[in-house]
Amino acid sequence: MSTAELPKAVDGPLTFIDDRLGSTTFMKRNLKKVFPDHWSFMLGEIALYSFIILLLTGTFLTLWFKPSMTDVIYHGSYVKLDGVKMSEAYQSTLNITFDVRGGLLMRQIHHWAAILFMAAIMAHMLRVFFTGAYRKPRELNWLIGLGLFTLGLLEGLFGYSLPDDALSGAGLRITAGVIQSIPLVGSYIMFFLFGGEYPGQDIIPRFFTLHILLIPGIILALVTAHMMIMWHQKHTAMPSKDQAETHVVGYPFYPVFMAKTGAYFLFTFGVISLLATFAQINPIWMFGPYDPAAISAGSQPDFYMGFLEGSLRMMPNWETNLWGYTIPWNVLIPALVPLGLVMTGAGLFPFVERWVTGDQRYHHVNDRPRNAPTRTAIGMTGVVFYGVLWLAGGNDIIAYKFDVSLYATTWFFRVAIFAGPILAFIITKRICLGLQRSDAATMAHGYESGTIKMMPNGEFIEVHKEPEEEQKAVILSKEEPKPSLPARDENGIPAPATKGLLGHVRARLNRAWHIDNITVEEGHGHEAEGADRELSKGH
């Protein structure tokens, strides 16, 4: 292929470009970029491709959507709303749904893509966290990812508000309430944002600008940065036989990875289209136009805002009156504390881990989650914390569909929000250590082959086989912790890193991080059978 002469019509322009941009060397270097293969590395791509679909369908929707809160009386093709007063925004969304050719499908693709965008970001972040892929040198990309997640939340909230249906309005009302709950400045910010009293006439045009221009612009810029940094730093890889910190094992971008990722775009588009065709989403014509007096049972936000809804639902009704001003803890705490804990915790974690473990090295090979039990346990703590909040956001649906008392669910969640994460930490850590023990046993005695052998003396044993090279390499990818610093050397001088309160805390945390570690090392694999015989005699 490379030896074939290009036709002059192709060669000419290419040479022209190459002479000016030097693109050949650039392409040569980058097309050969190697990408490791693992299914979980594709999760982030779902988000990327959903975002592209969101941009395209969103553009289509702007062609007909009217971001206006002017009152109109509907006389369109959806008879059930005939003669009903509504805003122009809602009316134009009805028109997109029922009158624009393909409009409903586009709306549904847009909304399903948004759901998948956020779900994929969350799944991707969990993968990055549990494999330790955020470690040096990738902390910045982790932070950019968190920024993208936050912007995704905002973008979703704004998009959810635009059609001005009953659920949009309920979401906006909560948003306004949350802003107002901020002490001192809350009312001013609310009035500034809404252009006066809630709901006013300004909020939808303003959210429209933010939703279609500002936030997607920032997301696009951050996605670009995210991808370029990843390209520059190279993708992390799962531990395997040939994998090492010094090089990446995988397939070149061109032609293998390009084909795979291209196919994956089509898969993503396919799944979103499938959902959009067969599963109805956000039926605003049934919710009706926003009316401050109307609300429906089961009024929830989209799933990614569900954890905020849940924290609001489980919060006791606490308020304080100070010198005639009310501090509404019942709104302030649920709005800020869970989000703050999750986001701040996630943002600081790479740096805290580096400080606690004292590990300043570059990491390009991922950890297996079991080999970092403390990190995995902390991760599950966060997952359970978020999960309880998330479930609590749907407590009425849970109560109704599973026939339990609504107040019982509220109290269950109030207890679970504190007890669940603690239990999750303990259980996860024990599971990780159990898996480490199993790895250690495999290295020491080989794995159970399932073959039962009868010995000359009539004894039955199960044959244990030495693991394959690949399995061995994966198991041995576990790093044994360095012995923690002695608090004092032989002369009684405290080590510099353990001095002071901070140093003391750090030494404690360092010990806690590695506590209960099971050493996994290459054992007497060749004597597997003999060792096992001794073991089975012991039973």
Closest by Cα among 421, 441, 430 to 516:
430
Query: Judged by CB under 8 A, does residue 378 bind other proteins?
Result: no
Query: Judged by CB under 8 A, does residue 136 bind other proteins?
Result: no
Interface residue with other proteins among 64, 191, 267, 355 (CB under 8 A) is 267
For other proteins, the closer of residues 76 and 347 by Cβ is 76
d(CA 105, CA 335): 34
Structure-token pair, residue 393: 């956001």
For other proteins, the closer of residues 188 and 400 by Cβ is 400
Structure-token pair, residue 150: 């936050």
Q: Where do we find the tokens 């000359």?
A: 456
Query: Judged by CB under 8 A, does residue 281 bind other proteins?
Result: yes
CA 161 to centroid of chain Cα atoms: 23
For other proteins, the closer of residues 231 and 400 by Cβ is 400
For other proteins, the closer of residues 271 and 433 by Cβ is 271
Q: How far is CA 241 from CA 475, 476, 528, in A?
A: 10, 10, 22
CA angle (47 as vertex; 142, 347 as ends), nearest 5: 20
For other proteins, the closer of residues 28 and 401 by Cβ is 401
Long-range contacts (CB closer than 8 Å, 24 or more residues apart) made by 239-242: 239/365, 239/366, 239/368, 239/473, 239/474, 239/477, 240/470, 240/473, 240/474, 241/469, 241/470, 241/473
Quote the least distance from Cβ 434 to other proteins, whole Å: 25
d(CA 109, CA 127): 26
Query: Judged by CB under 8 A, does residue 405 bind other proteins?
Result: yes
Near other proteins in 107-126, by CB under 8 A = 108, 111-112, 115-116, 119-120, 123
- From 17-25, 311-319, 399-407, 495-503, give the range in contact with other proteins by CB under 8 A: 399-407
Quote the least distance from Cβ 174 to other proteins, whole Å: 14
Near other proteins in 149-178, by CB under 8 A = 166-167
- From 132-140, 147-155, 270-278, 361-369, give the range in contact with other proteins by CB under 8 A: 270-278
Query: Judged by CB under 8 A, does residue 288 bind other proteins?
Result: yes
- From 214-222, 266-274, 356-364, 531-539, give the range in contact with other proteins by CB under 8 A: 266-274
d(CA 164, CA 304): 19
For other proteins, the closer of residues 271 and 441 by Cβ is 271
Burial classification of residue 357, based on how many CB atoms lie within 10 Å of its CB (0-12 exposed, 13-18 middle, 19 or more buried):
buried
Interface residue with other proteins among 10, 29, 39, 101 (CB under 8 A) is 39
Burial classification of residue 481, based on how many CB atoms lie within 10 Å of its CB (0-12 exposed, 13-18 middle, 19 or more buried):
middle
Q: Is the separation of the CB atoms in 43 and 123 below 8 Å? A: yes
Quote the least distance from Cβ 535 to other proteins, whole Å: 35
Quote the least distance from Cβ 178 to other proteins, whole Å: 18
Interface residue with other proteins among 18, 33, 34, 37 (CB under 8 A) is 37
What is the dihedral angle through the alpha carbons of 453, 459, 461, 463, rounded to the nearest 10 degrees? -40
Query: Judged by CB under 8 A, does residue 301 bind other proteins?
Result: yes
d(CA 353, CA 271): 37
CA 529 to centroid of chain Cα atoms: 45
**Strand 325-327 versus strand 447-454 pairing type:** unpaired
Query: Judged by CB under 8 A, does residue 291 bind other proteins?
Result: yes
For other proteins, the closer of residues 155 and 353 by Cβ is 155
Residue 404: Cβ within 10 Å count: 13
Quote the least distance from Cβ 165 to other proteins, whole Å: 10
Quote the least distance from Cβ 177 to other proteins, whole Å: 18
Quote the least distance from Cβ 403 to other proteins, whole Å: 8
Structure-token pair, residue 56: 């395209």
Q: Is the separation of the CB atoms in 74 and 94 below 8 Å? A: yes
Interface residue with other proteins among 154, 258, 399, 463 (CB under 8 A) is 399
Interface residue with other proteins among 92, 282, 442, 510 (CB under 8 A) is 282
- From 329-337, 378-386, 393-401, 488-496, give the range in contact with other proteins by CB under 8 A: 393-401
Query: Judged by CB under 8 A, does residue 287 bind other proteins?
Result: yes
CA angle (528 as vertex; 527, 531 as ends), nearest 5: 85
Task: Compute and round to an integer the Cα radius of gyration of the chain.
Answer: 29
Query: Judged by CB under 8 A, does residue 227 bind other proteins?
Result: no
Near other proteins in 41-100, by CB under 8 A = 41-43, 46, 74, 79-84, 97-98
Query: Judged by CB under 8 A, does residue 362 bind other proteins?
Result: no
d(CA 405, CA 490): 64
Q: How many residues bind other proteins (CB under 8 A)?
A: 74
In eight-state DSSP terms, residue 341 is H
For other proteins, the closer of residues 91 and 374 by Cβ is 91
Query: Judged by CB under 8 A, does residue 1 bind other proteins?
Result: no
- From 53-61, 276-284, 420-428, 495-503, give the range in contact with other proteins by CB under 8 A: 276-284
